[in-house]
Chain A
Amino acid sequence: MTMQEFDKAMTRCGEVPRLFAGPSVVTDPTRHSANFAAIEAEIDAPKPGLLARVLLRLGVSEDTVPLVTATPALRRSWIASVGLAMLFALTSAGSNTGEGADRIVVFLTLAPLLPLAGVALAFSPKVDPTYEVALAAPIDGFRLFLIRAMTVLGGSTLGLLIMSALMPSGGLQRIAWLLPALATTSLAMALSTRFDPLMAAASVGAVWLLIVTMSVSASSVADAFGPVMQVVSAAIASAGAIALGQRRRRLDITSDR
């Protein structure tokens, strides 16, 4: 029912307006106004968006859904750029055959950078105009940070996994980006408690590119993304998570020092 239809119904039915406006029912004009505003809000409330409906269907709580759907990194521009980057990575890797198969390194190198960039965009004061409003609100800053980070991380990881599955060759090596991606994002999130998230992610991304370049030039792709890198990545991911947990209160307030 639209507001206009509601107004018509109210006009037709003489008793209903009295329920709200009659002095015997509501004597406080503020409350009267508040009641009408609340009724209008209920009637005019648009249907939740597709993402919100999916999240509610998946069992995400009512108070978490707006926090997820308002994540700045869920903007179309970000999603489009991630899609293009993944397509580029897939094309680069998928076009290789025979002895050129080592070029899968393009995909494995770029893949961890996507969730990393997404996490940085999810909480940077430079990107999020509501940053100060969120800080002054009672919500736990760590919870908000995790909700946003997991939203972006989950989305980009799922996309990358689909891309990996679509790759024509590479076997298990196709998902060798997964642990490094966890390590870079975990480290960037931990550093975000001290530095701006964009700066933290850019620094971690630069170090990642340096390490991969050095590793690939010194050995084969299989070795570069082999067991040693996976174990080190797992260790860094764990250390980052612990550091983030320990410094989580820093996400509740800014420091001008």
Chain B
Amino acid sequence: MNAPTIAVRSLEHRYGNREALRVGQLTFEGGATAILGPNGSGKTTLLRLLATVTEVQQGTVRVAGFDPTDHLERTAIRRRLGYVAQRDGLPPRMRVRAFCDYVGALKEIKSARLRRRWTGWVLDRVDLSDVANERIGTLSGGMQRRLSIAQALLGSPDMLILDEPLAGLDGKQRIEIANLLVELAKSNTVVCATHQAEELATLCHRVVVVDDGQPVFVGTPHDLAAHAEGRVWESETADPNATCRAVGPGRFRCVGQGIPSNQAPVPPTVADGYLAIVRH
């Protein structure tokens, strides 16, 4: 695999007086990395910095060896980047095909013929060819999310930065997009922020858990699951001293500091590992 590496060091980011992000050192190598974290934990801020959308306030970011604070190097990064923002960024009155054509022009694909070919290819990848001539506002939420991913694929970037790529998708679509991301991650660097610990993080090579603006875990999904080893049980009541979630009618799965004496441990999952970390 010869995918580009993204590295950050001593990164700090503030919104006014509020510190949003503080990262000592973090490297995203080829393959897929999931950034997990609760709302407001700094995931989107980190992704916007990696995508060169927002200015680096303090620290260093290197994307494929380029420095985004330099105008020319920033452009070099953007030529290799596909980005899906947290909010879809889709103009509702524009037609799907025209939107892809527009993004193609933004990505410096100069020939209209070539943009049409790219448009056909990316819409086919996300199964939107049938609605190419529809207005974006008439598409379902899931279709709009897939269109966001399609625009990111224009120009075949070797780095993909995706903020909540599975948000708003139904079961089948989630599987299809997750499969697509896994396929893309074979030869590219894919970084996605997600809430879905179980669904997406399990498919990624690495997981970074961000809590309160700081990375609190970096490792494989297996390592993350192992973090909750001996701390997960299932019972018919929710333990107020643990993080419990309903997993069936009258059944709760709890992650705590240890197993209560009257319960038996169950094998932990990635989601359990995530809850064990962010709980503290």
Chain A residues with a Cβ under 8 A of chain B: 33-34, 36-42, 44-46, 61-67, 69-70, 72, 75, 128-140, 144, 249, 252-257
Question: Which secondary structure dominates where chain B touches chain A?
Answer: mixed
Q: Is the CB of A33 within 8 A of B51?
A: no
Partner of A137, one of B87, B103, B115: B103
Q: Which of B73-100 contact A (CB under 8 A)?
A: 74-75, 78-79, 81, 83, 85, 87-95, 97-99
Task: Mark contacts of B32-66 with chain A using CB atoms, 8 A cut-off: 1 yes-contact digit, 0 otherwise.
Answer: 00000000000001001001111101000000000
* Interface status of B111 (Cβ within 8 A of chain A): yes
Q: How far is the CA of A256 from the CA of B44 in the complex (A)?
A: 13
Q: Is the CB of B102 within 8 A of A253?
A: no
Chain B residues with a Cβ under 8 A of chain A: 13-16, 20, 45, 48, 51-55, 57, 71, 74-75, 78-79, 81, 83, 85, 87-95, 97-99, 101-113, 115-117, 119-121, 123-124, 129, 132-133, 151, 161
Q: How far is the CA of A36 from the CA of B120 in the complex (A)?
A: 9
A256 proximity list for chain B (CB < 8 A):
13-15, 20, 45, 54-55, 57
CB within 8 Å for A252 and B106 given contacts A41-B116, A138-B78: no
Q: Which 7 A-B pairs have the closest CB atoms?
A: A41-B120, A137-B106, A37-B124, A136-B83, A138-B78, A38-B117, A37-B120
Q: Is the CB of A66 within 8 A of B83?
A: no
Q: Is the CB of B97 within 8 A of A45?
A: yes
Q: Is the CB of B94 within 8 A of A70?
A: yes
Q: How far is the CB of A32 from chain B (nearest CB, A)?
A: 11
Could you name 15 residue pairs across A and B whose Cβ atoms are closer than 8 Å?
A33-B124, A36-B124, A37-B123, A38-B121, A41-B120, A62-B112, A66-B101, A70-B98, A75-B93, A130-B89, A132-B87, A132-B89, A136-B85, A136-B161, A256-B15
Q: How far is the CA of A33 from the CA of B125 in the complex (A)?
A: 9
Q: Is the CB of A139 within 8 A of B108?
A: yes
CB within 8 Å for A137 and B101 given contacts A45-B116, A256-B57: no
Q: How far is the CB of B222 from chain A (nearest CB, A)?
A: 30
Q: Is the CB of A138 within 8 A of B53?
A: no
A130 proximity list for chain B (CB < 8 A):
89-91, 99, 102-103
Q: A133-B89, A137-B107, A257-B16 are known; give 5 further A-B pairs, CB within 8 A.
A: A42-B116, A63-B105, A67-B102, A138-B79, A256-B15
Q: Is the CB of B133 within 8 A of A67?
A: no
Q: Is the CB of B117 within 8 A of A136?
A: no
Q: How far is the CB of A139 from chain B (nearest CB, A)?
A: 5
